[in-house]
Structure formats: structure tokens, C-alpha cells
Amino acid sequence: MSVADLDSPLPPLPPGTPPPVPRSSFRETIELVAVALLLAFMLRTLVVQAFRIPTGSMEDTLLVGDFLLADKFTFGARIDFGPIHTRLPGLRRPRTGDVVVFRYPLEPDNDFVKRLIAGPGQTVRMEDRRLYVDDVFIPDAPNAKHIDPQVLPGVLSPRDNFGPLTVPEGHYFFMGDNRENSRDSREWGFVPEADLIGRAMTIYLSWNPDGGIPWFDLLHKLRWNRLFRSVR
């Protein structure tokens, strides 16, 4: 076909053929919105999801008012669609030290974020706040903290002394980095693998909820030094 052929007028329609109906701009707008919504739904379901931190259980790794992104592809995205409940293949298994978003086993409508301490088949124990997994000492995360100088005996509370406990197959043991101010597996037990949502990846926004700062003072409300910080 020559260049001249491309510029030639289209052949006339056969007799009796109705002329093509032009697409309305309103219909095109609706279609574009529908495609955008579908892509956003797939992105949130399969790739990444945003969460807000409402409590101080992970201080100082995560602060109240942090907004983070959790990737779903590392562990494999969970699919819940009608009667379908499955998990796609992931890049790797969860491991000790990962900060993970999961469904709270006692209230599945609520999402928690904690640090993964031990996985299936591993044995975890704590002696006077010293944490061991399979008899290997696990140091605190760099930004973890202790707010109570008193060490509680195991007969009073599992906060500072517990175990040894062996994690059942298909389950995980989690703890908050704010060790004396966290409701976690020491209190309510193990998390089924099916309840894992994703790996905490990046803090994309951080907002200081301190009531002493006026809500409209954005320069002081925003924690600029935490924007786009990786979660470790």
C-alpha cells in the first residue's frame, strides 16, 4: 500500500447500511472512569495497599499518624472474591524481622501491623525481655523501645517472660516494637498464614496528631523527615 492509498477517501457504504453512530463524550468518560476504577481495584487487591497507624504499639519504628504502603506481591496477594479464598504465589516466605500487616485474629475486620518474630515450626521464648528463636538471641529492632523499667515475672504476665512456644504449621508469632505497650501474640496467640495481608514497605506520609498544633498549620503537622522512609 502506498502513502497515497492511506490518504484516499473511504469507499461509500453499501446501500441500506445505517451510518455509524458517533460515540458520545459522556459514554467515553464513563468508560474511562470504569477502567480506572478497575485498575485501582486490581492494584489494591494484588500489588499494594495503604494503611494508617492509629496506635503506638510499633513505636518508634512506626508512629501514630504514619501512613504506610504495604506490598502484597512479596508474600503473595490474598484473593477474597465471593466463595473464592486463596493466595497467589509470592516471591518469598515471611521471615523473622519482617514488619507485616495482617488481620487481627480476634477481630478479622481490624488490621494490625507488627514485627514477625517466629514462623511455622520455630520455637520462641523470652527471658527477662531477651528474645530467643530456636535458642538464638534476637536483638531488638533499631527503633524498638521499652517504656517500663520493671520486668514482670512469667507467672504474672507473658510480657517479659514466656515460653518456650512452638509455632504451629501455617501460623506466625508477632510482637510490637513498643514492647511494653503492644497487644500481640504474647497475649492472643498465633496468626494464621491466611490472615497475612502484606509487608510494610514505605511511609509515604506522616501527620502529627498532637492537639497542640493547629490543624491548618501544615508545615508543623507534617513530619517531613519521615516522608518516603522505608520500614525496617
Domain segments of the chain as ranges: 49-230
Name the β-bridge partners of 78: 87
Query: How close are the terminal C-alpha atoms of the chain, in Å?
Result: 60
Q: For residue 146, how many C-alpha atoms fall within 13 Å in the half-sphere facing its CB?
A: 12
CB contact at 8 A, 174 and 102: yes
What class has domain 49-230? Answer: mainly beta
pTM given for the model: 0.80
Q: Please state, in angstroms and rounded to a whole number, the distance separating the CA atoms of residues 138 and 95.
A: 13
At residue 220 the predicted structure's pLDDT band, cuts being 50, 70 and 90, is confident
Look at 26 and 204; give whichever has higher pLDDT. 204
Grid cell listed for 93: 516466605
Name the phi and psi angles at 51, rounded to 5: -140, 155
User: Which pLDDT tens digit goes with each residue over 49-70?
Assistant: 999 999 999 999 999 999 999 9
C-alpha Rg value of the chain to the nearest Å: 26
So which residues are the catalytic ones? Answer: 57, 114
Q: Please state, in angstroms and rounded to a whole number, the distance separating the CA atoms of residues 146 and 155.
A: 20
* Residue at grid coordinates 446501500: 15
Burial class (CB within 10 angstroms; exposed 0-12, middle 13-18, buried 19+) of 152:
middle
User: β-pairing, 123-127 with 111-118?
Assistant: unpaired
Grid cell listed for 134: 530456636
Q: Please state, in angstroms and rounded to a whole number, the distance separating the CA atoms of residues 98 and 115.
A: 6
User: Which pLDDT tens digit goes with each residue over 112-158?
Assistant: 999 999 999 999 999 999 999 999 999 999 999 999 999 999 999 99
User: Which pLDDT tens digit goes with each residue over 167-202?
Assistant: 999 999 999 999 999 999 999 999 999 999 999 999
